[in-house]
Structure 1
Amino acid sequence: MDMQNDKIVVGLDIGTTKICVIVGHKNDYGKLDVLGMGKAVSDGVVKGKVINIEKTILAIKKAVEEAEDNSGIDIKVVNVGIAGHHIRSSIQRGSITRDDRDEEITVEDVNRLTNDMHRMVIPAGNQIIHVMPQVYTVDYDDGIKDPVGMTGIRLEADFHVITADINSINNIQKCVKRAGLDIENMILEPLASSLAVLSDDEKEAGVCLVDIGGGTTDIAIFHENIIRHTGVIPFGGNIITSDIKEGCMVMQQQAELLKTKFGRAISTEASENEIVSIPGLRNRAPKEISIKNLAHIVEARMEEIIDLVHAEILASGYEGRLAGGIVITGGGSQMHSARQLVEYLTGMDARIGYPNEHLGRTKIEAVKSPMYATSVGLVLAGYRSIDERENRYLEAKLNNQNMFINHKQKGVKKEGDFFSKIINKTKSFLIDDFDEKDDY
């Protein structure tokens, strides 16, 4: 097993509904073995933003302790997800001039160009969290996916730059640090989810990932294996719960149970005669709720969310190029008939995204649910980059390191063999000489 696969990686998803910690380890087959999971109710986060530091710290500590008990691992470093309506993305162009036209473009040249983009001027109060190359141009020859190995002086690229509100970043960092943890990477949540639920074929053909969480709906569009567009819609499953609470005049917990157990995204699938009875308040009669009325409430809000998703796809300019259709994941994807409603409103193929493809052995069946796609993706992000080109560069680097180590080990072995032969020969001479002395 190589050094990359030998490490333990922890994902920390600070969501609006829940805070989840997953501890993972890559096995010999390249799959992710989940060693432990912990979760806690998230009271201090609204629409992806931390609004109560103390409550969030307590929830993180609770989730971490549970994950440590399950896995037997002492957690110190985590990969953290970030989301929220404050996330912004834009396409920016960068360039560098190389010294020698005849020298091949190296991975170092590509990294230098990418690192230069981190120094670009952005709006006050924001901070860059991701810089992802789209396509490269070498001496005005454009449309190049991977320039490594080519020759030229001027190297340019279009970059997908993602920024976040610096206060939101600081609040997440503060919560994690005060919970006794260090941050290895901070990753945009839809990008993490994409690692868990999308196949390489889908990303090559063109696909839109829609992660319907508790407070936000996150979008990531891929085409030709390159991230093309990201977006965050400030609505998620919690707003459906709020609508049910107000529309049916019930308590928050009752509204959540009604949504998850009896909610339907398409109202025509609900029967007129179906009624559910829920306990009334103190000394009051039970309340009867029509499943048909409940479905109308859910459908109206789901339609609004899907329409906003469709608007993001149109704004990206990739609507007609997504042969892989739409993949919906997150807790909201488990709503009855959600997939069918997405297909009906967008006219595109859709499927539910389960984080099963990359999972190996686990005793925790819950981790296979779309609700934990982001958490699993954050662990996978500890092993591989969102950009496949980065993975190839890292793989080549690790192979070179392994070759160098093996070469050194072989050299040591040969040297050891040489000296051991001399010592053995010397021993044999001494023994023979000693035997001869005994004969006298």
Structure 2
Amino acid sequence: MVVPDTNIKNSNDLIFSLDIGTKTIVGIVGVHENGKFKIIESCIKEHNRRNMYDGQIHDIEGVTRIIKEIKKELEEKLEIPLKNVSIAAAGRALKTYRFKTNKDIDSTIEIDNNMIKALEMEGIQNSQKLMDEEIGKKDLRYYCIGYSVVNYFLDDNFIEKLEGHKGKKIGVDLLATFLPQIVIDSLYVAVNRAGLEVSNMTLEPIAAINVAIKENLRLLNLALVDIGAGTSDIAITKDGSIIAYAMTSIAGDEITEAIAKSYLLDFDSSEKLKVRLNKEEEHKFFDVVGIEHQYSTEEIIKKIEGVIDKLAAEISKKIIEYNGVAPSAVFLIGGSSQIPKLNEYIAKYLKLPEERVVLRDLSFIESIEGISKLHNGPDMITPIGIAMEGANNKYKNFIQIYLNGEEIRVFNTDSVKVADVLILVGYNPRKLIPERGKDFIYYLNNEKKIEKGEIGKPAEIIVNGAKGNLKTVLQNKDFVEVKDSTRGEIRDIYLYNIIPIYEKVILNGEEVRVLKEAKVNGEIIEENIQIHEGDRIEYYKNETVYNLLEDLNIDEYNIFKNGEQVGIYENIKDKDEIDIKLKSNKNFLETEENEIDLIVNGESKKFTYTEEEFLFVNIFNYIDFDLSKPKGKLVLKVNNRDAQYMKVLENGDNVEIYWSK
């Protein structure tokens, strides 16, 4: 086995990666030792025919054949079989959509993180619907591999953070990125047919950016552009994370075609000439009719300068579209990034200094040994990135999550959260936010009254038996249970909750209630009945001293309210003290005292009263029972039967008064 300075015992110790590209397939074998990735062997083979277009496999057998050749060559060099491989899906297969979603909310509820995450989920699902409509293939399944919030809105106004605020409407403008299932499946099939198992999978732009732009640089607003043959893939970092992926359909092949048309060359000859433009100053070649040409690189570039300008313009336009403004710097990778003057034109369109648009090659990469086994060019960034992802073991294909008992397969692009799984299965995010119950409407003295419904219970998210939330990070084989939020109940309203049954004045030292009569839908009611939707309630009470005295049938009097003499039309309110003196100076309330024996809530009690009859309602003037703070439905019974307020009580009656929950 030709593996110097390593302790490898079998193929499981090796990291084997494949960059399956449109023009070439690159195989790298290395080992992770002492915190570094050591390249042991590599192999690069070009497609002998167009097996792939724009990163998508079209001829699986053709791709499989080249993978087998690379595998065999590396196995012969290493003298050890290769079984597992790390691969990547092309960034050009990604679809990115920007969508703004609004949601009406209860203005009395404080906005919390669950409401915000539910709003974001709805935005992602709306983005997916938009994508399905544009693609027109409902059976083509896409995975959302990430999204970034552009802006939040509260009542249609921009706001930096929603949490803690209140309003009638919340909104989010976000960028969602999707990867098609077909891309993954075709890669798996080609690799499996070559006798290999996929041990790790990532995305080409992620692999590239993890090498080209380290995490400690991602606080900066940077753009990475991978210019390949069919497309130019863009990744943008900001505030410590990757915020967007984009793609243009113009790339290296446009340059190749321009050279072919300018000098009457076939595609392969034009491609070879294009590759030499950044390596040689003078070029000799024959066109398709056999005429020999000799031009300098400068002359050729001048001839195709319009296409280079167009490519730079398209790339710059996409960067601005997804970043909003020009980034702080742009890093160029990929084989076609080496076209002379391309970086100058990109700098011009982005209005950046030329030194801020630079090529990235392998020379700056740390923690890697054996780079000399590869050519040092920007086209090697992605292959190295795929190998390093395999070494770091960050991505493990798919993980299995059990959602409400159902097994879900999730593409593991990064730390998978509960929200990612719910998005994948199309869970309705509105089920996460509790709703207020239906409003209860009734009419009180011909005035419309509205009682708000109760707030429902919020959704519950349980991960492996413990309380979780939408941001809970999931591991392989985790169990997730989601209990939908509920809608609140309609409030139970009783008559005594809405009429002034508890208001009273102190009349000559004794409590007298101001309520005279109550009607529900035109019928006089003397019980605490439940009110139904649309009921019309009327009540009459003594609003003034005059009303009170008229009710008592008193003609000649002197009136004192709270110690001061007042007129007969003086308004009265709850707890007022009214003293009435007959002009004859005889207190009209002075009458013969009577006694009655009752059983009240199981206790024998004797009451002395001056009225002609002892009515049920009078008992509240003698017992300690607080009617001002309802604690449920008020139950009134006499001798085990429902009692009316005006019922006349007799000696020995059994009275029950209590709140029913």
TM over 0.5: yes
Q: Which residue of structure 1 aligns with residue 443 of structure 2?
A: none
Secondary structure of the 2:369 match is coil
Q: Which residue of structure 2 aligns with residue 13 of structure 1?
A: 19
Amino acid at match of 2:378: P
CA distance in 1, matches of 2:36, 2:368: 5
Per-residue deviation, 1:384: 5.8
Q: Does 1:24 align with 2:30?
A: yes
Alignment RMSD, CA only? 4.4
Q: Give deviations 1:321-369, integer Å, cap 9, x for gaps.
A: x33x101111122223333332223223212112442342206342542
Q: Tell me: CA distance 1:295–1:33, structure 2 relative to 1, closer, same or farther (3 Å).
A: same
Q: Is the 8 A contact 1:245 1:255 kept in 2?
A: yes
With structure 1 as the length reference, what TM-score do the two structures score?
0.67
Equivalent position to 2:360, from 349, 353, 369? 353
CA distance in 1, matches of 2:376, 2:384: 9
Secondary structure of the 2:219 match is helix
Q: Is the 8 A contact 1:11 1:378 kept in 2?
A: yes
Amino acid at match of 2:351: G
Alignment of 1:375-386 (within 5 A): 375-382=383-390, 383=392, 385=394
Higher-Rg member (1/2): 2
Equivalent position to 2:83, from 67, 76, 81? 76
Q: Tell me: CA distance 1:127–1:56, structure 2 relative to 1, closer, same or farther (3 Å).
A: same
CA distance in 2, matches of 1:17, 1:132: 28
Equivalent position to 1:33, from 33, 38, 57? 38
5+ residue gaps, structure 1, are: 94-104, 145-156, 265-269, 392-396, 398-440
Which structure would you say has the larger RCO, counting Cα contacts within 8 Å and 6 or more residues apart?
Answer: 1
CA distance in 2, matches of 1:343, 1:37: 35
Secondary structure of the 2:218 match is helix
Q: Tell me: CA distance 1:65–1:346, structure 2 relative to 1, closer, same or farther (3 Å).
A: farther
Per-residue deviation, 1:373: 0.8
Q: Which residue of structure 2 aligns with residue 164 of structure 1?
A: 179
Secondary structure of the 2:67 match is helix
Alignment of 1:102-251 (within 5 A): 123=132, 124-129=138-143, 131-132=145-146, 134=148, 161-251=176-266
Secondary structure of the 2:42 match is strand
CA distance in 1, matches of 2:239, 2:414: 12
Q: Which residue of structure 2 aligns with residue 332 of structure 1?
A: 336
Q: What's the % identity of the aligned pairs? A: 20
Q: Which residue of structure 2 aligns with residue 407 of structure 1?
A: none
Per-residue deviation, 1:259: 1.3
Alignment of 1:394-413 (within 5 A): none
Per-residue deviation, 1:195: 0.9
CA distance in 1, matches of 2:81, 2:175: 36
Secondary structure of the 2:366 match is coil
CA distance in 2, matches of 1:68, 1:316: 44
Amino acid at match of 1:26: H
Q: Is the 8 A contact 2:36 2:367 kept in 1?
A: yes
CA distance in 2, matches of 1:62, 1:182: 16
Q: Bigger shift: 285-294 or 17-26?
A: 285-294
Q: Does 1:60 align with 2:74?
A: no
Q: Which residue of structure 2 aligns with residue 310 of structure 1?
A: 316
5+ residue gaps, structure 2, are: 1-6, 102-112, 133-137, 163-171, 396-411, 417-474, 476-661
Q: Is the 8 A contact 2:227 2:336 kept in 1?
A: yes
Q: Tell me: CA distance 1:352–1:166, structure 2 relative to 1, closer, same or farther (3 Å).
A: same
CA distance in 2, matches of 1:311, 1:65: 44
Number of corresponding residues: 354
CA distance in 2, matches of 1:21, 1:56: 13
Secondary structure of the 2:25 match is strand
Q: Give deviations 1:185-205, integer Å, cap 9, x for gaps.
A: 432211111011113343111
Per-residue deviation, 1:23: 1.9
> Which structure's residues are more often helix, by fraction?
1
Q: Is the 8 A contact 2:53 2:230 kept in 1?
A: yes
Q: Is the 8 A contact 1:176 1:183 kept in 2?
A: yes
